[in-house]
């Protein structure tokens, strides 16, 4: 995964966290969500780029 893809994904995660924080999620819940999203993105990138 190149840097620009990672930047895009981090931007999306940040935007999603803002949305959830605006919906009164606690910081802990937002961070849990962030971890889940990062694992999902990592898993997807490994599946789509098995050799990288």
Please tell me the predicted confidence (pLDDT) of residue 1: 57
What distance in Å separates the CA atoms of residue 5 and residue 22, rounded to the nearest whole number?
26
Please tell me the predicted confidence (pLDDT) of residue 47: 67
Please tell me the predicted confidence (pLDDT) of residue 30: 73
Q: What is the mean pLDDT of each run of 10 residues along the chain (52 residues)?
A: 80 82 73 82 72 58
Q: How far is CA 36 from CA 13, 33, 42, in A?
A: 10, 5, 10
Please tell me the predicted confidence (pLDDT) of residue 10: 87
Please tell me the predicted confidence (pLDDT) of residue 49: 64
pTM: 0.39
């Amino acid at each position: 995964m190149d840097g620009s893809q990672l930047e895009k994904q981090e931007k999306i995660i940040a935007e999603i966290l803002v949305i959830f924080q605006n919906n009164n999620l606690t910081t802990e819940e937002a961070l849990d969500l962030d971890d889940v999203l990062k694992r999902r993105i990592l898993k997807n990138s490994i599946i789509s780029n098995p050799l990288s």
